[in-house]
Amino acid sequence: MGQNANVSAAKTISQRLQHLDLEQRLALIGQTGRNVVFTSSLGIEDQVLTAVIAGSALPIRIVTLQTGRLFDETLALIDRTEARFGFAIEQFHPGADAVADYVKSHGRDGFYDSVAARHACCAIRKLEPLARALEGADIWITGLRRGQSGNRSEVPFAAWDDARGLIKANPLADWSDEQVRSYVKDHDVPVNPLHARGYPSIGCAPCTRAIRPGEPERAGRWWWEQDERRECGLHLKSPGEAAHG
């Protein structure tokens, strides 16, 4: 399929998704006949998507990036989620040699020293495992919402990701924080206890803090950096954009 056809297909899916409820959106994506992968960070949005995918037994792989620096609460939530929904979440780990080389060059927590060192750590612990998780995928589902940050305020329901060669779908794009919280409450979805302690967005333990009153929900991610558009690179236009931004 050519570039124009790929972009057109993504646009068609995006247009169809906006008129459906969440269950219908995921069913439509799962029934395309394509290889669909959902990458879960175990955050509250992703737990909503997991509940719908598992509850409807949709043909969508659910994977997570086990970075090696996750909170204990996040690791425990993996076990709780698997027990609750009766399936195993595929876990992708960083390469041991790459981690060892990083620690040798920068120290275990060298990401505090510079933006470049932090991006290098994210590349090893997130971007490379993500590439393996998405190998062979036609559609990548994420839990991105427009209300999460200014950087995500125009997240589409679906778009062609040229760098990764697939359609990236965001079925929760138009959901509010209130809708997400109501869903997990109404459907008894297990969530990370850190959310109740002021962590609306949860990543690796050394790179995440609780937010202060009035701060946007992603203010606790890489808080020592001043760039308001800071990301790890998973959800930028190209996998290398974080390193050059």
Which residues, 6+ apart, have CB-to-CB distance to 162 below 8 Å? Answer: 3, 6, 238
pLDDT for position 10: 93
What percent of the chain clears pLDDT 70, i.e. is strictly above it? 89
| Beta strand 139-141 pairing with 90-92 | unpaired
Question: Which is higher by pLDDT, 157 or 149?
Answer: 157
Mean pLDDT across 172-193: 96
Q: Which residues contact 153 (CB under 8 A, 6 or more apart)?
A: 146, 147
| pLDDT over threshold 80, residue 193 | yes
Per-residue pLDDT tens over the stretch 76-109: 999 999 999 999 999 999 999 999 999 999 999 9
Q: Say how many Å lie between the first and final Cα of the chain, rounded.
A: 31
pLDDT band for position 218 (cuts 50, 70, 90) = confident
Q: Is the pLDDT of residue 9 over 70?
A: yes
Residue 241 has pLDDT above 70, yes or no: no
- Cα gap 157→155, rounded to integer Å: 7
**Residue at 50: amino acid letter:** T
**Where do the structural domains in the chain lie, given as residue ranges?**
3-244
197 or 238: which carries more pLDDT confidence? 197
Is residue 121 part of the annotated active site? The answer reads: no
Query: What's the pLDDT tens digit per position in 39-55?
Result: 999 999 999 999 999 99
Would you place residue 227 in the very low, low, confident or very high pLDDT band (cuts 50, 70, 90)?
low
Question: 116-145 pLDDT, tens per residue?
Answer: 999 999 999 999 999 999 999 999 999 999
pLDDT band at 229 (very low <50, low <70, confident <90, very high): low
User: Which listed residue (121, 204, 207, 232) is catalytic?
Assistant: 232
As a whole number, mean pLDDT of residues 141-162 equals 84
3-state secondary structure the chain: CCHHHHHHHHHHHHHHHCCCCHHHHHHHHHCCCCCEEEECCCCHHHHHHHHHHHHCCCCCEEEEECCCCECHHHHHHHHHHHHHHCCCCEEECCCHHHHHHHHHHHCCCHHHCCHHHHHHHHHHHHHHHHHHHCCCCCEEECCCCHHHCHHHCCCCCEEEECCCCEEEECCCCCCCHHHHHHHHHHCCCCCCHHHHHCCCCCCEHHHECCCCCCCCCCCCECCCCCCCCCCCCCCCCCCCHHHHC
pLDDT confidence tier of residue 153, bands split at 50, 70 and 90: low
Segment among 40-54, 130-144, 206-220, 226-240 with least mean pLDDT: 226-240
Say what the pLDDT of residue 245 is: 28
pLDDT at 152 over 80: no
Architecture of the structural domain at 3-244: 3-Layer(aba) Sandwich (3.40)
Judge whether residue 235 has pLDDT over 90.
Answer: no
pLDDT, the chain, mean = 90
